[in-house]
Amino acid sequence: MIHPETWLKVQPQGLFCEPGGFFIDPLCAVDRAVVTHAHSDHARPGHRAVLASADTLALMRARLGEDRAGETQQALGWGETLRINDVEVCLRPAGHVLGSAQVVMAYGSARVVVSGDYKRAPDPTCVGFEPVACDVFVSEATFALPVFVHPAPKAEIHRLLNSVALFPERTHVVGCYALGKCQRLITLLRQAGWDRPIWVHGALAGMCAVYETCGVALGELRPATGAAKRELAGAIVLAPPGALADRWARRLADPVVGMASGWMRVRQRARSRGVELPLVISDHADWNELNATLDEVGAPEVWVTHGREEALIHAAARRGIRGRALRLVGYGEEDQGAEVEAVGA
Ligand SMILES: [Zn+2]
Ligand SMILES: [Zn+2]
């Protein structure tokens, strides 16, 4: 086996696969990029060639604009194999957001899986994570502390609906990311039987439209901007976290402010943002999922891109898995702005 350390390297632009001549989720514009998913910290504008899943490419075009989403875009279906120079590349679902993929690379009889961001909890808006046996597993570690155990999303949605039942005259506004979290909340609400219109902030509408185009049904959505206060009494409104404390929120009827994020597990974070109804709903693997995934893929080595790498590497070492911190800087800010980052994932 040609050890992956000799051919998959950390460079200032990001993780570089030398024999393939491509970067994975590069942090700046490069000649050839393989992109795991369309969040802004992974899918940067201006690459020459981009390889990704078809849904990720559709989301990138909507976010970045047709001309900034890669001069040449190539879609790779789940399980299709493509040879890029000396490397065989395929994509497997990561279960993080629509289109999110793990990048599987085979070279010199070694197989490396770069998982991007991932989660293991079922999510009706995307294809579930598929464990792939490998020699090196590259993982994020956003929630890699034992305190981060995400509850069942269904239970969190019931807390929201209970609050709506308790305060039928108030608007329930829930802060969430434009890409992924918003559409997941909507489908979770639909599954829980909420069939009334869901009101969305203008900043979320574009991504919802792409999801619909890609076949994820969201039910009736209405623009919250411009709605009368009386229409929003008793309604559920979704908005980007930044809008909650904004002038924008004044249109809401005596709002109950919620936020859907894995960080809501940290009560202090919720309190400091004036969140009354913290919903612990995350698109990232929690502590148990991270560790279970390491065991499932069976890699003797795990490389950790960003997050709480020490804790994960320590837990891996106890099971005989060699850990390595890549300390990639620039990931973890899923949407623009430090404010969003603070309540991010
Ligand atoms: Zn992400
Ligand atoms: Zn990320």
Note the pTM of the prediction, 2 decimals: 0.94
pLDDT single digits (tens) 271-313: 888 899 999 999 999 999 999 999 999 999 999 999 999 999 9
pLDDT confidence band for 340 (50 / 70 / 90): very low
H-run or E-run covering 199: strand 198-200
CA distances from 325 to 102, 107, 135, 161, 177 (A): 19, 22, 16, 41, 27
CA of 228 to the centre of ligand 1 (A): 34
Length of the chain: 345
With b for 16 or more beta-carbon neighbours within 10 A and e for fewer, the 299-308 pattern comes to bebbbbbbbb
CB neighbour list of residue 231: distance below 8 Å, 6 or more residues apart: none
CA of 202 to the centre of ligand 1 (A): 21
Structure tokens given for 263: 């960080």
As a whole-number percent, the residues of the chain with pLDDT over 70 amount to 96
Rounded distance, CA 177 to CA 61, Å? 18
Among 89-98, 101-110, 178-187, 324-333, whose mean pLDDT is lowest? 324-333
Residue in the block written with tokens 């994820």: 216
Rounded distance, CA 309 to CA 100, Å? 22
pLDDT confidence band for 251 (50 / 70 / 90): confident
The CB density around residue 42, as the number of other CB atoms within 10 Å, is 25
pLDDT at 344: 42
Q: Which of 129, 152, 136, 148 is nearest to 37 (CA)?
A: 129
CA of 164 to the centre of ligand 2 (A): 32
CA of 274 to the centre of ligand 2 (A): 25
Which ligand has its closest atom nearest to the C-alpha of 283?
Answer: 1
CA of 118 to the centre of ligand 1 (A): 8
Q: Judge whether residue 242 has pLDDT over 60.
A: yes
Which ligand has its closest atom nearest to the C-alpha of 333?
Answer: 2
Question: What mean pLDDT is reported for the chain?
Answer: 94
Residue in the block written with tokens 């001069």: 71
Among 12-16, 242-246, 319-323, whose mean pLDDT is lowest? 242-246
Assess contact for 196 and 234: CB atoms under 8 A.
no
Q: Judge whether residue 342 has pLDDT over 50.
A: no
CA of 224 to the centre of ligand 1 (A): 26
CA of 334 to the centre of ligand 1 (A): 6
CA of 36 to the centre of ligand 2 (A): 9
pLDDT single digits (tens) 1-59: 999 999 999 999 999 999 999 999 999 999 999 999 999 999 999 999 999 999 999 99
Which ligand has its closest atom nearest to the C-alpha of 25?
Answer: 2
Q: Judge whether residue 245 has pLDDT over 90.
A: no
Which ligand has its closest atom nearest to the C-alpha of 331?
Answer: 2
CA of 96 to the centre of ligand 2 (A): 10
pLDDT confidence band for 334 (50 / 70 / 90): low
Assess contact for 153 and 318: CB atoms under 8 A.
no
Mean pLDDT for 259-271 is 92
Q: Is 140 exposed, middle or buried (CB count within 10 Å of its CB: 0-12, 13-18, 19+)? A: buried
pLDDT at 345: 43
As a whole-number percent, the residues of the chain with pLDDT over 90 amount to 88
